[in-house]
């Protein structure tokens, strides 16, 4: 009886968490169905089509460049050993720690007309002005695509490298027996076998590109993400912004569907796992050539930008290390810690429910709760604002009817809104870490605990939780770092006179004064290194 009551309570809690987290999305869809014959139709007849085209072009460009960078590096490190290969296996993931808006500022500073690159070209070739030569405009779709690719190619590298490593040597041997050259083996055998992984990586890059707000805003590239921001704050139309948001969600749904189909097809290309790819050692000139290729990519995507930020932080430490840095750093710290703990607790509720109930229905709360991660920050901000505004106004109207004084905006005007948005977006990270840990706990342990007379609650407390310590710590750290870096939701939902390190840095980036927030910028980058180190250790422990 007690076990049944506990299970019923846990089931109710799990579904309650799922409903609360999916509520903003339902409100967003409902708002998008509201007629809007002015703003949205005006945008549709003027600039919206251009926004869609820019978005599609940017996504395709970033995918192509990311694949051109990530796939060769993945094949190189999956199949060959050379000086520095062990470092590059995880070192090439470091660009993930670099926020896109910082990369946008840095490369604009380097490549614009007054920057050091063009100044050097004019000095070497004796060019007098811009009319004497051609140099692409960094503040363009091309510039945005290059910058985003330098940040996002590690997704391609990580996913595709794993696919290359899992390919069987029998395919390569067959190619050699048929007299194929190394290039033919790569292009005709290894690459086709990795197509599902390529599709998954491309879908992930596409979703991250679609969700990016800061870099495209800095480059003045009009995409659907900036359209949501401008429509909401510029035109003051939440309904039109909701309609554009739903268009973005449809695109994300297509990317996710494409990824799922590719993942299902991957079973068709599975090889003999007992005969994995044998690593070939590259020596001499070939080895150093491979080293140079990997180092060059890492140099431009992480090392030089970090040196630039570190030098700036050192040079302007008196101005950058000010009271605002400590105040906003404290805001980011407390917000990130709070969100991390909440995500861990709520994630544990839905993950444990799935563990103790293996039915298909028990998997729904987990899937629903994880859906918010696919929502871009600007879209999520609108989705969160809608139900919270409804509750605020309803509560104040009720108090007025009862003859009481209204209490104001206790949800939309406080930290609750930004915290709620963070939980919706990042609880999927916590759920993923907890699920991964649970997969290592054999069901036989549960059976043994029950045979010893323990109910499910006792099994959870005395058996599962001690074994979930590593997964729980990983969940807290990953959510903490994601919360520290989040910009669009914080930018749109923060209360008055409240800043995080991310919003603080972005404002100075927008004003071309990053040096005044350089200490905050380097802090965000250093904080982003933690999940990369954790990811590397997790991968090594599985090998």
**Residue 270 clears pLDDT 50, i.e. is over it:** no
133 dihedral zone (left: phi>0; alpha: psi -120 to 50; beta): beta
- Print the domain residue range for 392: 1-31+316-543
Lowest mean pLDDT of 89-98, 207-216, 347-356, 435-444, name the range: 435-444
**Residue 543 clears pLDDT 60, i.e. is over it:** no
**Residue 480 clears pLDDT 80, i.e. is over it:** yes
What values do phi and psi take at 439, rounded to 5?
-65, -25
Q: How confident is the model at residue 200 (pLDDT cuts 50, 70, 90)?
A: confident
Is position 327 within any domain? yes
Q: How many CB atoms lie within 10 A of CB 508?
A: 18
Give the tens place of pLDDT for each residue, 143-169: 999 999 999 999 899 888 888 887 666
Do 413 and 285 reside in the same domain of the chain?
no
Question: Are 238 and 232 contacting, i.e. CB atoms less than 8 angstroms apart?
Answer: yes
b/e code 253-268 from CB counts within 10 Å (16+ = b): eebeeebeebeeebee
Do 74 and 26 reside in the same domain of the chain?
no
How far from the centroid of its chain's Cα atoms is residue 411's Cα?
A: 26
Is position 532 within any domain? yes
Region 6-28 average pLDDT? 84
Give the tens place of pLDDT for each residue, 287-320: 999 999 999 999 999 999 999 999 999 999 888 8
Count of domains observed in the chain: 2
**Packing angle, helices 195-211 and 141-165, rounded to 10:** 150
Q: How confident is the model at residue 339 (pLDDT cuts 50, 70, 90)?
A: very high
Question: Are 378 and 363 contacting, i.e. CB atoms less than 8 angstroms apart?
Answer: no
What values do phi and psi take at 81, rounded to 5?
-115, 135
| Domain boundary residue, one of 281, 311, 341 | 311
Highest mean pLDDT among 9-18, 181-190, 210-219, 525-534: 210-219
**Residue 29 clears pLDDT 70, i.e. is over it:** yes
Do 394 and 522 reside in the same domain of the chain?
yes
Do 405 and 296 reside in the same domain of the chain?
no
Lowest mean pLDDT of 270-274, 298-302, 388-392, 512-516, name the range: 270-274
Question: What pLDDT is stored for residue 331 in this prediction?
Answer: 92
Region 388-401 average pLDDT? 88
| Domain boundary residue, one of 262, 290, 311 | 311
Question: What pLDDT is stored for residue 268 in this prediction?
Answer: 45
Q: How confident is the model at residue 173 (pLDDT cuts 50, 70, 90)?
A: low
Q: What is the pTM of this model?
A: 0.85
Is position 419 within any domain? yes
Do 19 and 157 reside in the same domain of the chain?
no
Q: What is the DSSP string of 18-65?
A: HHHHHHHHHHHHHHHTS--TTHHHHHHHHTHHHHHHHHHHHHHHHHHH
Greater pLDDT, 213 or 463 = 213
Greater pLDDT, 448 or 514 = 514
Do 211 and 64 reside in the same domain of the chain?
yes
Q: How confident is the model at residue 341 (pLDDT cuts 50, 70, 90)?
A: very high
Strands annotated E in 72-201: 80-81
Give the tens place of pLDDT for each residue, 115-132: 899 899 888 888 888 888
Question: What pLDDT is stored for residue 271 in this prediction?
Answer: 46
Q: How many CB atoms lie within 10 A of CB 280?
A: 11
Give the tens place of pLDDT for each residue, 70-119: 999 998 998 889 999 989 988 998 998 899 999 999 999 999 988 899 89
Greater pLDDT, 5 or 508 = 508
Is position 110 within any domain? yes
What is the SS3 assignment for 212?
A: coil
Lowest mean pLDDT of 25-39, 194-208, 431-445, name the range: 431-445
Is position 48 within any domain? no
Please give the Cα distance from 172 to 164 (Å, whole number): 11
Percent of the chain with pLDDT over 90: 28
Percent of the chain with pLDDT over 70: 83
Do 386 and 492 reside in the same domain of the chain?
yes
**Packing angle, helices 518-542 and 501-510, rounded to 10:** 120
Question: What pLDDT is stored for residue 266 in this prediction?
Answer: 53
Q: How confident is the model at residue 265 (pLDDT cuts 50, 70, 90)?
A: low
Do 277 and 395 reside in the same domain of the chain?
no
Lowest mean pLDDT of 88-92, 242-246, 278-282, name the range: 278-282
Lowest mean pLDDT of 182-196, 199-213, 246-260, 359-373, name the range: 182-196
Distances (CA, A) of 490 to 225, 296, 377, 425: 15, 34, 8, 12
Is position 540 within any domain? yes
Do 395 and 282 reside in the same domain of the chain?
no
Please give the Cα distance from 529 to 98 (Å, whole number): 9
Question: Are 489 and 377 contacting, i.e. CB atoms less than 8 angstroms apart?
Answer: yes
Is position 45 within any domain? no
CATH number at residue 134: 1.10.3720.10
Q: How many CB atoms lie within 10 A of CB 35?
A: 8
Is position 230 within any domain? no
Do 306 and 321 reside in the same domain of the chain?
no
Q: What is the DSSP string of 170-183?
A: HHHHHHHHTT--HH
Region 439-456 average pLDDT? 66
If you count them, how many residues does the chain have? 543
Lowest mean pLDDT of 27-31, 351-355, 427-431, 533-537, name the range: 533-537
Do 214 and 323 reside in the same domain of the chain?
no
Give the chain's mean pLDDT: 83
Do 474 and 404 reside in the same domain of the chain?
yes
Question: What pLDDT is stored for residue 269 in this prediction?
Answer: 45
Q: How confident is the model at residue 453 (pLDDT cuts 50, 70, 90)?
A: low
Q: How confident is the model at residue 406 (pLDDT cuts 50, 70, 90)?
A: confident
Please give the Cα distance from 170 to 271 (Å, whole number): 8
């Amino acid at each position: 009886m007690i076990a049944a009551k506990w299970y019923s309570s846990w089931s109710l809690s799990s579904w309650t968490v799922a409903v609360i987290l999916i509520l903003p999305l339902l409100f967003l869809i409902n708002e998008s169905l509201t007629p809007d014959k002015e703003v949205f139709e005006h945008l549709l007849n003027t600039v919206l089509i251009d926004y869609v085209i820019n978005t599609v072009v940017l996504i395709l460009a970033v995918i192509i460049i990311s694949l051109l960078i990530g796939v060769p590096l993945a094949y190189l490190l999956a199949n060959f050993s050379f000086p520095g290969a062990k470092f590059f296996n995880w070192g090439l993931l470091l660009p993930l720690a670099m926020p896109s808006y910082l990369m946008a500022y840095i490369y604009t500073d380097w490549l614009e007309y007054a920057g050091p690159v063009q100044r050097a070209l004019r000095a070497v070739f004796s060019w007098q002005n811009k009319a004497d030569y051609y140099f692409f405009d960094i503040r363009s779709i091309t510039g945005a695509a290059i910058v985003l690719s330098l940040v996002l190619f590690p997704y391609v590298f990580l996913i595709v490298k794993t696919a290359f490593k899992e390919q069987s040597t029998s395919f390569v041997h067959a190619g050699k027996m048929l007299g194929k050259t190394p290039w033919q083996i790569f292009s005709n055998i290894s690459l086709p076998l990795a197509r599902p992984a390529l599709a998954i990586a491309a879908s992930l890059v596409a979703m991250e590109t679609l969700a990016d707000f800061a870099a495209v805003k800095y480059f003045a590239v009009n995409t659907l993400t900036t359209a949501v921001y401008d429509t909401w704050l510029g035109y003051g139309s939440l309904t039109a912004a909701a309609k554009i948001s739903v268009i973005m969600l449809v695109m994300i749904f297509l990317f996710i569907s494409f990824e799922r189909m590719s993942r299902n097809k991957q079973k068709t290309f599975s090889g003999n796992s007992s005969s994995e790819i044998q690593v070939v050692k590259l020596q001499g000139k070939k080895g150093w050539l491979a080293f140079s290729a990997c180092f060059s990519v890492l140099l431009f995507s992480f090392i030089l930008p970090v040196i630039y930020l570190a030098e700036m932080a050192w040079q302007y430490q008196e101005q950058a290390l000010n009271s605002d840095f400590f105040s906003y750093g404290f805001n980011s710290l407390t917000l990130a810690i709070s969100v991390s703990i909440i995500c861990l607790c709520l994630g544990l509720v839905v993950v444990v429910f799935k563990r103790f109930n293996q039915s298909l229905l028990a998997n729904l709360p987990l899937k629903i709760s994880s859906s918010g991660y696919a929502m871009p920050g600007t879209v999520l901000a609108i989705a969160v604002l809608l139900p919270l505004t409804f509750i605020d106004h309803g509560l104040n109207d009720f108090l007025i009817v009862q003859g009481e004084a209204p209490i104001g905006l206790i949800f939309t005007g406080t930290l609750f809104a930004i915290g709620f948005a963070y939980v919706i977006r990042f609880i999927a990270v916590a759920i993923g870490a907890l699920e991964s840990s649970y997969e290592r706990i054999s069901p036989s342990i549960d059976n043994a605990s029950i045979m010893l007379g323990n109910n499910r609650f006792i099994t959870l407390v005395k058996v599962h939780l001690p074994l979930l310590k590593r997964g729980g710590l990983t969940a807290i750290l990953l959510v903490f770092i994601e919360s520290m870096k989040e910009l669009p939701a914080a930018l749109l939902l923060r209360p008055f006179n409240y800043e995080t390190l991310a919003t603080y840095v972005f404002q100075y980036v927008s004003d071309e004064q990053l040096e005044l927030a350089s200490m905050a910028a380097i802090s965000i980058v250093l904080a982003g290194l933690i999940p990369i180190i954790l990811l590397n250790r997790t991968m090594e422990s599985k090998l």
